[in-house]
Amino acid sequence: MDSDSAPVHGPIAGTDIADVAGGTDTVLLDVDGTLVDSTYLHALAWARAFGAHDLTPPWWRIHRTVGMGGDLLVGEVCGEDVEDRLGDRLRSDWADRYRELLPEVRPLPGAPELVDAIRSAGLRVALASSGAAEFTDAALDILGMTRDDFAAVTSAEDVDRSKPHPDILGTALEAAGGEHALLVGDTVWDVESAARLSAACVAVRTGGFSEAELREAGAVLVVDDIGVLAQRGWRGVSG
């Protein structure tokens, strides 16, 4: 592995964001697993929702599918027959279970700092989550932030198709008034949705995907978390 593609695990100066994603005017931030440490709680909520219907998919498969929208996750994990039969019921059950787990969701370090760094560099910053608006607002509370901290906040209800379709990113970019997006996300579904919008994706490892998977999916940079990213050079990105 040469130095240009070497992993960055600490707050080391090195690759500026502009080096991997120049020409961006808007940074779109994923929420779950990127700004808040909720990935495994989402997996738990889904496992409990599935279990209530005597469905026992393996945990790894649930975990690897979190980050995809709930409209797609059921079919991906349990098959289209289950989606057809129980999809809406499972999503409702999942929401109830996840709501119970919200007090356990913790912020990942660095969200306010990252938003400050991006805005200070003259870029727009918007939220682009596959999750429900209710849970995006809960995440903002957990972060001590508000919708006013962002140029736009887009959630699952704002589009017909969630990640890995690019609709959420496109809607967030337009709502923010930008033209060229960079996505910060934690899953291969984020990377895929960004690619479909011809946008670069910087990936964080806080969703539990490996660096190799994220790079293979096409992430232009992989760092441990947004705290690391907040310390990278954002000036010159809009170049």
Does residue 123 come out as left (phi exceeding 0), alpha (psi in the -120 to 50 range) or beta? Answer: beta
d(CA 163, CA 87): 17
Which of 86/132 has CB closer to Mg ion? 132
Which of 30/83 has CB closer to Mg ion? 30
Tell me how many residues contact Mg ion (CB under 5 A).
5
* Ordered DSSP codes for 30-68: --BTTTEE-HHHHHHHHHHHHHTTT----HHHHHHHBTB
* DSSP-assigned letter for residue 144: T
Give least dist CB 150 to Mg ion, A.
16
Using Cβ positions, the residue closest to Mg ion within the complex turns out to be 33
Tokens coding 147 = 């919708």
Tokens coding 221 = 């940079």
Is there binding between residue 93 and Mg ion (CB under 5 A)?
no
d(CA 127, CA 119): 13
Give least dist CB 30 to Mg ion, A.
4
Give least dist CB 54 to Mg ion, A.
28
Which of 67/170 has CB closer to Mg ion? 67
185, 162 in Cβ contact below 8 A? no
Give least dist CB 105 to Mg ion, A.
13
Q: By rule CB under 5 A, what string of x and - marks binding of each residue 155-194 to Mg ion?
A: -------------------------------x--------
- Of residues 23-42, those binding Mg ion (CB under 5 A): 30, 32-33
Give least dist CB 35 to Mg ion, A.
9
What are residue 32's phi and psi, to 5 degrees?
-70, 130
- Of residues 31-90, those binding Mg ion (CB under 5 A): 32-33, 67
Tokens coding 13 = 């100066």
Q: How many CB atoms lie within 10 A of CB 210?
A: 11
Q: Contact residues for Mg ion (CB under 5 A)?
A: 30, 32-33, 67, 186
